[in-house]
Structures are given as structure tokens and as C-alpha cells.
Amino acid sequence: MTDLTPILKPKSVVIIGASRTPGKVGHIILQNYLNEGYDGKIYLVNKNAEEILGIKSYKRVTDIKGGIDLAVIAIPAEGVPMVLEDCGKTKVKSAIVVSGGFAEVGNVDLQNQIVEIAKRYKIAMIGPNCLGVVDPRSRVNTLFLPSYKLSKPQVGGVSFVAQSGAVGSTVLDLIAGEGFGLSKFISYGNAEDLDEVDILEYLMNDPETKVIIMYIEGIKRGKEFIKLARKITKVKPVVVLKAGRTEAGSNAAHSHTAALAGSYEANEAVFQQFGFTIANDLSELLYYAKIFESEGAPKGNRIAIVTNGGGAGVLTTDAIASSRFIKLGEFSASTNSALQKTMPTLVNIRNPLDLAGDADDKRYGDALAALSSDPQIDMIIVIILFQTPGADSRLASEVVGLKENTDKPMIAISIGAEYTEMHKIMMERSGLPVYDSPRAAALALEALFRYYSYRNHKG
């Protein structure tokens, strides 16, 4: 297994191409390290500067005395071989080449040259043509994107692997608003040294990673990927969004990251066979990441719906009924009895359980307490329409508290603008996944059930 520790948790880093000019790639990378509060040693290389932002600058890597774990290379492509050679002579352990201008634009010979240098000196290299990595625990951020343009995710258990830097940065920005936390972000670009197999193998064994989500354009080592796929989903969930479904998309992928996208059908068959969760778009990638970070294995596929809006309950019922893998459960006799004692007469005791438009925190609390102990219910969807009179912060707190005290997967659906969004953030930051549509909620619970059914299968 390739050790990515020098890349993700370096004790020292050299930024080659560090710049004094705001807006330049090398300036932004340095600024991001400083903004994150990175507490390792930072070295800079810029032959035209003696210091940048108060940090001494060297003319070449070979002028630096002291061990270096990571080199971040942000210079024009034609200069990369020489500085990578310097890194090898200085025994730099790893490198991230953010520079573009290699095989993705037809410059294959130049790319082969830097790969040969990296292998000769045993430098673990990510790139070229990538954003690099973010590890919020070690405060490493090699992105050349200004920090004020990206929302900052909280620290958590989801590691995101992206072949595309643009897709990666977009999803990073979205993660911050989705209520789950980031463990690591790895953008690996042209993947000429370290590729998706190396990265996945490391993350499979990483105790800080609970869930892996991926955007990939091509798989370079098919046999090795299949060998790893047999093992990885028995350890933790992997969600994959594979681009290049069409011939036009495959051609676009090749010009983007020099990826050989291959047959989408063949890739999909491998993903399905080995328990990967397949996302069809970026929204689904986030739906699944959220459910897997928050929820454990359900005991079965029977779902209860609790709602304060009858129509929303019907739409959610339709979404569940459209699935071949999950279904509405039937309340047990003891649950029916408990609900009859606590619900007003206008509430019909059936699934979906419509608590009526005047439902408040107490009514939801009584209903969810009964369902949480029902042996015939495995998962719960709580629909809260905050536009109704009884839906407020007390209700949000009540549901969050009940979520903490049940071992059943429980998610919420809340649809609305500012007032709803405020409560959605409150609930998600307290550990309750919230979805903005019945379809999204149904897809998430279906993915959860299917993954754990695969993982627990003894065959």
C-alpha cells in the first residue's frame, strides 16, 4: 500500500512557485496554508524573491537544509522536470503537481518524463493537472482557490476523491451546506503516478474515513481496481459518480484529464457487483454521503412516515413504493394502541401517519417515541413542514433529541425557504440528515439498506 501520510499529514512542505502577487496560483496556495493555521514547517521556492508573506524564499529546493515531506509544484509545465529532479536529490518524500499542460493537452512526452523522475526517486506524486488535497485535521490545503470563495466544511468522516478539480471544488463548497463533515479531499488529475487504486486503498485503511465518495472519469488499472473493490465495500461504503457515460462524454473526459473512460456499462457492472453505491449526479452523491456518515445498518427495509402535511406524506409514499428494495411498514398492535392513547381523534392511525397541520413538538414526540420502539419498523422518515403553526424550533429540538435516542435510521424531509433552511441547518448540525424532497429521502434510505444488505451477505 502506498503511504499517503506525507501528502495528507506532512510535517514540512515546500511550495515551488510561491508568488508575491495576490491572485497568482503560488500566492493563493501559500495563503491557504497560512489561513488554515498549518503548524508544520513551510519552505518557499521562488528564484526572484527573498521572502514572501514574511517567509524566507529559496532559489532552488536543493538550497533547503532539512527534510521535506511534501512539495507542492505550481509552475509552468516545462519547468516541472527540473524541480522534480531537485526534489529527488533533496529526498523529498512526495509531490503534488498542480500544473496543467501535460497529457490532457497532448503533451504526453513531458508527462512521461516527470513520471520517470518520480519513480526513479520514489517520490509519491499526485497529478499533474490537479487541485491536490485538503485534510482539515492536519490543516493542509493545497488548493489554488481563494478560501473566501469556498465555504469550509466541518471536520467529519467523509473522504472525497475527485479526478476533476472543478467538480471537486464545487462539491467541497456544497458539502459545507449539507450538514456532514469532511475527512479528506483528494483531487488527483491525470493520475500518472498515484491513481484511484492507490488512493482508495489508503482510505480503506484510514481510521478517520467513514465514507468514501468519488468522482472519476476513468480507471487506469482495471484488474487492480477489481481486486480492491472486492474488499473495500466490506469495510466501508463507497459512493461513485462515474463520468463519461456516452461516447461524447468519454471524449470530453480524455481531453480533460487524459482519462481512458472505457465502457460505462462495464464500469457500472463492477460497481454493482461489489456493492458500490452509484450516484447519477452530484445531488445524489451528496444524498448518499449524508446518509452513510450519519446512519448505521438498518435491521430491515420497513419504513414509517410521520408528517404534518398529508400531501407530502402521499408523495413520500409514492417515492418509497417506486423502489424495489424498501417499503412501508405496518404498525404493530402495541404501537397502534400507544398512538390511539396520545393522538387526537382527527389523526388516522395508519402509515403514513399524518399528524395534521396543527401538530406540535409534543405530538411529534409521542408519535416518534412509539415508532422508535416498534419491532415492525426499521427506518423512519420525519416530514416537517415548517410553514405550519406548530412547527418551530421546539419541534426541531424534539426530533433531534428523539433521533439521538433511537438505534433506527431516522431522516427528515423539510421543504421551504429561509425559515425552513434555518431549521434544516440546526437539525443537520445536530446529526439529523435532512432532505429537500421525498425522492431524495427514498433514494438515501434505499442506498443505506442495499449497502448493508450487501455488506452483511455471507456469500
pLDDT for 194 equals 95
Are the CB atoms for 99 and 77 separated by under 8 Å?
Answer: yes
Rounded Cα–Cα distance for residues 382 and 31 (Å)? 43
Q: How many residues does the chain have?
A: 459
More confident residue, 218 or 325: 325
- Mean pLDDT across the stretch 297-304? 98
Domains belonging to the chain, first-starting first, are 1-129 (3.40.50.720), 150-294 (3.40.50.261), 296-456 (3.40.50.261)
Cβ count within 10 A of residue 344: 10
Owner of C-alpha cell 429521502: 441
Quick check: pTM over 0.75?
yes
CA distances from 433 to 32, 189, 316, 332, 425 (A): 30, 31, 16, 26, 10
**426: its cell numbers:** 440546526
pLDDT for 196 equals 94
Type of residue found at 99: S
pLDDT > 90: percent of the chain: 88
Using alpha carbons, select from 19, 303, 102 the residue that is nearest to residue 30: 19
Burial of 118-157, coded b for 16+ CB within 10 Å and e otherwise, reads beebebbbbbbbbbbbbbbebbbbbbbbeeeebebbeebb
More confident residue, 35 or 251: 35
* Residue 56 CB-half CA count within 13 A: 8
pLDDT for 247 equals 58
Task: Evaluate if residue 110 carries a pLDDT over 70.
Answer: yes
pLDDT for 95 equals 98
Are the CB atoms for 181 and 156 separated by under 8 Å?
Answer: yes
pLDDT for 258 equals 47
User: What are 411-427's pLDDT values in tens digits?
Assistant: 999 999 999 999 999 99
CA distances from 121 to 62, 102, 197 (A): 14, 20, 21
Model confidence at 372, pLDDT cuts 50, 70, 90, reads: very high
Rounded Cα–Cα distance for residues 273 and 213 (Å)? 17
User: What are 230-288's pLDDT values in tens digits?
Assistant: 999 999 999 999 987 755 545 554 444 444 446 778 889 999 999 999 999 999 999 99
Are the CB atoms for 20 and 55 separated by under 8 Å?
Answer: no
Average per-residue pLDDT for the chain: 94
Using alpha carbons, select from 351, 347, 355 the residue that is nearest to residue 385: 355
For residue 459, the SS3 value is coil
Check whether the bond before 352 is cis (ω within 30° of 0): yes
Using alpha carbons, select from 307, 452, 326, 314 the residue that is nearest to residue 384: 307
CA quadruple 373, 422, 159, 454: dihedral positive or negative? positive
Rounded Cα–Cα distance for residues 290 and 447 (Å)? 11
User: What are 150-204's pLDDT values in tens digits?
Assistant: 888 999 999 999 998 889 999 999 998 888 999 999 999 999 899 999 999 999 9
pLDDT for 251 equals 53
Rounded Cα–Cα distance for residues 30 and 143 (Å)? 9
Are the CB atoms for 308 and 359 separated by under 8 Å?
Answer: yes
- Mean pLDDT across the stretch 430-454? 97
pLDDT for 147 equals 85
Rounded Cα–Cα distance for residues 21 and 178 (Å)? 34
